[in-house]
Amino acid sequence: MQDAKIFLTWTSDGITKHDEFPLTENFTHGDLSLTPSMKKLEHGQLFTLELNPKSSIILNDLSIRFSHQDANYEKMMVNGYQSWTQSREMGRDDQIPSLRWFVHRFLAPYGDYAHYKTPHGKGHFHSWTYSHFRSPDSSILLLGSIDETFAYTIIDFDFTTYKMMVKKELHDLNIQDICTPFQLYIGKGEEIKLWEEYTSSIPVYRKPVEKCSGWTSWYNYYTGVTEDILLENLQILTEQRIPLDVFQIDDGFQRALGDWLEVNDKFPSGMNNIANKIKTAGFKPGLWLAPFICDKESLIYQQHPDWLLKDKKGKPLRAGWNPLWNGWFYALDFYAPGFQEYLREVFDTVLNVWGYEMVKLDFLYAVALLPRKDKSRGQIMNEVLSFIRELVGDRWILGCGVPLGPAFGQLDYCRIGSDVAPFWEDNKLTFVNYRERVSTLNSLMSSIGRWYLNRRVFLNDPDVFILRDKENKLSNDERYTLFILNNLLGDLIFFSDHIGEYNAEQLKWLRSMYPLLLPVIRNIEETNQVYHITFSINDREYHLYTNLGNQNYSFSLNRPVFINEEGYVSAGEELILKEHQSICLYFFTEIETKPVLVGSLGHIFPGSQVKTFEGNGEVVKISLHEDSSPETIIYIGSPLRITNLKINGKYYSVKLNNQGLRYVSLSKKDLE
C-alpha cells in the first residue's frame, strides 16, 4: 500500500471540513486526532486506526486510497453484500450490472443497490468486508476487515486505473468517544496461508461446532408444510436409518409473518409435541424464524406499529416483496422500546418451552437497512447478532440473508449463497441483473467463491441439494454437481426431498454422502467456468472437475485415477466433461511393492469411507467408518508378483481388468 493516504470529511459546529494525510502518520486537528499503527504478522500486517474526537463530531467520510499502477492483477474477489448476493472472482472484462429500474422497488432491499452506487463499465468492482486480488502466478493481495463493529468496510477497485479505495460505509455518523474505525488485515503471497492468517485474527465468540447433515421442509413443501407432512418425512427417514443430525421445520408453521408464537391450525399438536417426536427419532429439532420482519396480516404489525422501522417520511420501511407472504413485508426496529423484550420471549419459548435446539434465522439484513444518528448500519448488525447470540446461548444458530462480516465468529452456520432452485438458472431474474436471485447456478458460484470462510469464521451452509424427480427440472448431471459441491464446500448438508419417493439410484446417492467427512481444500482453479478443485481427505488426494458452463470440456491426466461410480481410468485417457457435469477423481498411490487402496464405490469421495488401511506384502488390514453405505465396494490394487491377498484374515484371488489393473474387490459385507 505504497503512497496510501487517509481521506476524511467531518462536520463540527456546523462546519464541514476535509483533509488527507499519509497512511502511517499521525493526524491532529482541533476537532479530532487519528493515530495509525501497523503490526507485522508472519505473512501480512494488521493496520489499526484510532480516532479520538475532542468534542462531538459528525463523520461524513473515511477512506484509504492508493494506486497499484505497478501491479498485474488478473482477478478480484468480489464479495457480495449479504448471504444471497453473488460472490466470485471477476476480471477486467467483467462488470457488476445495475439492477433494472422497473424491478428496483421490489428487489432493491435484498442487496446493496440502494446503499452503494455501482460504477458503470467493465473492470470496476466493490467488495464488502474483504477481497483478494489474484496475480498471474496465483499469488494474491488480501485485504480484510478484522472488525465491522464501527461500520461496514467496502473495498473499491478499478482495473482501468488500478486505483483502490478502502472505505467505511458512513451516513453522517455522530461520534463522541474514542473509537477504532479501521482494523484491516493486509497480506501478499500464498492464498491459503494469507486466508488462514486473516481469519485467525478475527475474534471468535463461539467454539466451532461440527459438520452435520439434515432435512428441512422448505425446498419441497415451502409454506404448504403441515404437521402430517413433517411426521411422514420423519417416519421414512427413521425407517431408512438415514444418519441425520438435524430435522428442521421451515416457514409455514406461524399464523402470520412476525407472529412466531402464534401457531396456525396446520399444526394441531403444537410445536413442543413435534420437537419431542424429532428428538425421539434421534435428531436435533430445528426451527425457522425471521425475527426482524413482519407483514400487514400479523398481530405485531397491527398491535405494535411503534416497533416498525420507519423511512424518512415516517412510513413503515419495506424490506422486500414475496408473493408467498401477501406481497410486501416490513422491517422491525431493534431499538424500539419493548421489542427486545418480545424477542427474549420468542427465543425463550422456542428454545426452552418448545425444546428446539437449532434456529435458522432468516432475512437478517432487514434489521440494518437504515443507519441511526449514532450507529452505522454495520454497528447495528453487529449489536443485533451479539444480542441473538446471547439469547440462543449454546444452541445452534444458522444465519441466512445476513451481511457476512458481522456474522464472523457469531454464528455457528451461515448461508454463503442464494437459495437453490429445482432448475439451473432463472433467465428472467438474470435479465434484470438481480444478484440475489434464486438459482442453482447462482448459489454454486458463491459457494465456490466463499469456500475460504468454512471452518474459519463459521461453518458454511451452501443450501440444499435436490435429488428427487417430482417438480424438479435439474438434469441428473446438474443434481450430481449440486450434490457433490455442497458436500465438498459446505459443512451443513441439508435436503428437503421425501425419500420415500426416491428411486433406488437416488437413495444410493443419498447414502453415498455418509459418513460425513472433512475435505481440506488445497486449491481451486477456474477456466471458462470449469473449476478444478484439489482437496484431500485423511491425506488421500482428490481432484474434482466441475463444469458450470454450457460447453463440453476435455482433459487427460498423466497418471491412473479412480472415478467415483465409474471405475478405473488409465493414464493419458481423455475424459469429457459435459455441460453442468462433475467428475471426482481419486489419485491413489502407485502400486509397487505393497497393496494399495485404489478406490471405492458407495461414497461420493471414492475410498474415503475407509477408516484405516494397512498393506504389507500379501497382507491387508482394512476397516470402514460406521455410517458407510451398504452399497460400498472397496478396490485394492495388488503388486505384480502377488496372486492372492490376505484381507482381514481371509484370502482373495487377484483379478485383472482390461486396462491392466490387478485388484481385489470387496463389499461391505465381506469386511464385516
Cα within 13 Å of Cα(491), Cβ side: 23
Separation of alpha carbons 628 and 587, rounded Å: 21
Are 430 and 532 found together in one domain? Answer: no
Assess contact for 419 and 443: CB atoms under 8 A.
yes
Place of cell 401477501: 326
Are 540 and 638 found together in one domain? Answer: yes
Separation of alpha carbons 607 and 616, rounded Å: 18
Cα within 13 Å of Cα(650), Cβ side: 9
Q: Torsions phi, psi of 576, nearest 5?
A: -110, 125
Which tens digit of pLDDT belongs to each residue from 138-172?
899 999 999 999 999 999 999 999 999 999 999 99
Is the residue at 334 inside a domain? no
Are 193 and 224 found together in one domain? Answer: no
Domain around 232: 212-290+339-510
Which tens digit of pLDDT belongs to each residue from 191-202?
999 999 999 999
Share of the chain above pLDDT 70, in %: 99
Of 665, 638, 657, 666, residue with least CA distance to 568? 657
Question: For residue 102, what is the DSSP state?
Answer: G
Q: What CATH number should be reported for the domain holding residue 617? A: 2.60.40.1180
Cα within 13 Å of Cα(607), Cβ side: 27
Are 426 and 530 found together in one domain? Answer: no
Q: Per mean pLDDT, which range of 131-140, 199-208, 566-575 is the poorest?
A: 566-575
The mean of the pLDDT values for the chain is 95
Q: What is the pLDDT of residue 520?
A: 97
The amino acid occupying position 634 is I
Q: What CATH number should be reported for the domain holding residue 92? A: 2.60.40
Q: Is 141 helix (H, G, I), strand (E, B) or coil?
A: strand
Residue 564 has pLDDT above 70, yes or no: no
Average pLDDT over residues 74-100: 96
- Sheet architecture: strand order including 318-322: 293-294, 327-331, 318-322
The helix or strand, by DSSP H or E, that contains position 178, with its residue range, turns out to be none
Confidence of residue 660 (pLDDT cuts 50, 70, 90): confident
Separation of alpha carbons 357 and 342, rounded Å: 20
Assess contact for 581 and 490: CB atoms under 8 A.
no
Determine the Cα angle at 409 with ends 408 and 413, to 5°: 80
Separation of alpha carbons 568 and 564, rounded Å: 9
Assess contact for 255 and 223: CB atoms under 8 A.
no
Separation of alpha carbons 594 and 617, rounded Å: 5
Separation of alpha carbons 64 and 36, rounded Å: 12
Are 504 and 544 found together in one domain? Answer: no
Q: What is the pLDDT of residue 208?
A: 84
Of 165, 182, 152, residue with least CA distance to 124? 165
Separation of alpha carbons 82 and 605, rounded Å: 31
DSSP H helical ranges for 35-164? 104-107
Is the residue at 314 inside a domain? no
Q: What is the pLDDT of residue 566?
A: 63
Are 469 and 550 found together in one domain? Answer: no
Are 433 and 557 found together in one domain? Answer: no
Are 40 and 176 found together in one domain? Answer: yes
Q: Is 519 helix (H, G, I), strand (E, B) or coil?
A: coil
Are 599 and 619 found together in one domain? Answer: yes
Residue that terminates a domain, selected from 510, 537, 566:
510
Is the residue at 517 inside a domain? no
Average pLDDT over residues 397-408: 97
Cα within 13 Å of Cα(402), Cβ side: 30
Is the residue at 190 inside a domain? yes
Residues 6 or more apart whose CB falls under 8 angstroms from that of 31 comprise 10, 12, 17, 53, 54, 55, 57
Instruction: Count, in order, helices (H) and strands (E) of the chain.
Output: 13, 42
For 446, other C-beta atoms within 10 Å of its C-beta total 26
Q: Which three cell numbers stand for residue 541?
A: 488426494
Share of the chain above pLDDT 90, in %: 89
* DSSP string computed for 60-90: EEEEEEEE-TT----EEEE--SSTTS--EEE
Q: What is the pLDDT of residue 209?
A: 93
Q: Which residue has the higher pLDDT, 279 or 71?
A: 279
Cα within 13 Å of Cα(295), Cβ side: 15
Is the residue at 319 inside a domain? no
Place of cell 476537532: 31
Question: For residue 573, what is the DSSP state?
Answer: -
Q: What CATH number should be reported for the domain holding residue 222? A: 3.20.20.70
Confidence of residue 408 (pLDDT cuts 50, 70, 90): very high
Q: Which residue has the higher pLDDT, 565 or 131?
A: 131
Average pLDDT over residues 414-418: 98
Helix 271-280 × helix 227-239 angle, to 10°: 0
Residue 572 has pLDDT above 80, yes or no: yes
Separation of alpha carbons 150 and 169, rounded Å: 9
Are 492 and 556 found together in one domain? Answer: no
Is the residue at 437 inside a domain? yes
Average pLDDT over residues 479-505: 98
- 184 burial level (CB within 10 Å; 0-12, 13-18, 19+): buried
Separation of alpha carbons 123 and 151, rounded Å: 26
b/e burial code for range 272-288 (CB count within 10 A of at least 16 → b)? bebbebbeeeebbbbbb
b/e burial code for range 480-493 (CB count within 10 A of at least 16 → b)? bbbbbbbbbbbbbb
Are 39 and 144 found together in one domain? Answer: yes
Is the residue at 330 inside a domain? no
Residue that terminates a domain, selected from 167, 200, 233:
200
Separation of alpha carbons 202 and 381, rounded Å: 17
Q: Which residue has the higher pLDDT, 605 or 657?
A: 605
Which tens digit of pLDDT belongs to each residue from 506-546?
999 999 999 999 999 999 999 999 999 999 999 999 999 99
Q: Is 18 helix (H, G, I), strand (E, B) or coil?
A: strand
Assess contact for 97 and 124: CB atoms under 8 A.
no
Is the residue at 397 inside a domain? yes
Q: What is the pLDDT of residue 658?
A: 78
Residue that terminates a domain, selected from 156, 176, 200:
200
Cα within 13 Å of Cα(31), Cβ side: 18
Q: Torsions phi, psi of 269, nearest 5?
A: -85, -10
Confidence of residue 118 (pLDDT cuts 50, 70, 90): confident
Separation of alpha carbons 430 and 142, rounded Å: 30
Q: Which three cell numbers stand for residue 485?
A: 459441491
Q: What is the pLDDT of residue 245?
A: 98
Which tens digit of pLDDT belongs to each residue from 375-398?
999 999 999 999 999 999 999 999
How many domains are contained in the chain?
A: 3
Are 85 and 140 found together in one domain? Answer: yes
Residue 2 has pLDDT above 70, yes or no: no
